[in-house]
Structure 1
Amino acid sequence: MVAVVLRTRPVWVRPAAAGDRQQIAGLIAADQLASPLATMSRAQAFDFRRPDGTVVVAHDGFGMVLGAMALRRRAAAGRLTGGVAWLHCRENPEAATALVRAAIERGSALAAITAFTNPGPAEPGFPGLPLHDRPVSTEVFGDAGFRTMDQWLLFHRPGRRGASVACGGPSPWVTPEGVLPAQRRPALPALTLAEWRERLHRSLERFDQTGGDGALATVDLLRSLALT
């Protein structure tokens, strides 16, 4: 693909190759340190061979991968839509801008383009881009014309022995309504933030009493986006 010139240097976007896997995993891991819930297991989840999607990378032309993005297509009700499944770039504004422009270019003939609405099979069941941990990416999508579709209030807490929820089997959801199995998507009750925190604290106490190692627990807002 043609280079996108941002500031003083060009950033190139091309389809990912198998040789990019290690650098892509590094980008994912860097964002995962800041927001484990939104990036869990993605190093294992992306697949270059998926017929309904592709992974593209932004790079500097000299072998350095600056960002990566997974794109998906879906046909429903006679409409073909596209979406950004995930994007990771260490909050590099040049890489984020190049990737978002590439997503719009690739989706120019589609009925709609969305972002962060369909997590992969190895990820938790909630969509969204974490607003507090990903401000650069959020701003780049907004500047490109994407607008808010949904907001989710979620929580993440590492295991008491320092284990990451990205390791091992799926972690249960600890919600203001109590502890739910990992396979069950929690409903989000209409509560104030103070009520969420108070009720979640009680649920976490009950979870600790059962000897649980990992819980979903740091307050954050997650946003799904659509190009309007």
Structure 2
Amino acid sequence: MTSPSPQTVEDLGLQGCVYLSALLQAQDEGLGVTPTDRLTLATMAELKGLGVIDVPWPENRWNLEPRAEITPAEGFQWRYAWSAYARNLIGEALEEYLQSIPRDELACPWRTQLWQTLSVAETEQYFEQQLVKHRFEASWAQDIVLVHQQRRPALSIARWRYCCWAAVRHGASVSQQQATPDTAVVRDAIYSELRRRADQVASGAWPNCSFPPSNPRPTNALGRLFVEVLSRVQDAFWTIPASDAGFSAG
């Protein structure tokens, strides 16, 4: 037996409201919902579980569904399904609720978890871009998840971006030296270099190795909501590690 859908945005809760806001903002502004397809699918699955949207899964698409919407960047179909609020009114209700959430560092601990999730996803997206640029498999970008989990203390997104850039360049050099292409060797070389660079940066040996984006505004809806609504970190989103203390530093 499925649980009934929430009756108010308060019942939906902070996480659900943020995820639904990101989905709607992505539709309105032509953005990605999150930095990666994988995180977007997880976000949509959460909203499906809460009963506020429908998705065609396990099928890829609905053949005939006039109310279906498609995420602009990812191309995933979904359908608004929350009877408590009309589709044209839910945006305003979500905005009012999110604006009411205090933004001091003790107010909503889930924000730290969200920042950490975004840190991994933003790094993975940049890693994938670098891999594709050098004609490597985009799927290798998922290797960053394990490296990210193992790295303590944490690094900022900008420092992770540097590590990804350097690791892929190292992989390109290894590939060029091969007489016979061996993708497994190249992938392992990139992974090992990624770990080595992260260790060196974390130790303080390379204090200036940091690649913040030229435009600090996130290019996805979830990142923008975090930076512009849920926190005061602003540009520090990229340059300090995701942590409770980061909200005070931002």
Quickly name the TM-score band, shorter chain normalised. 0.3 to 0.5
For normalisation by structure 1, the TM-score amounts to 0.33
* Higher RCO by CA contacts (8 Å cutoff, separation 6 or greater): 2
Instruction: Give the structure with higher Rg (CA).
Output: 2
Q: Which has the higher strand share?
A: 1
For normalisation by structure 2, the TM-score amounts to 0.31
Q: Which has the higher helix share?
A: 2
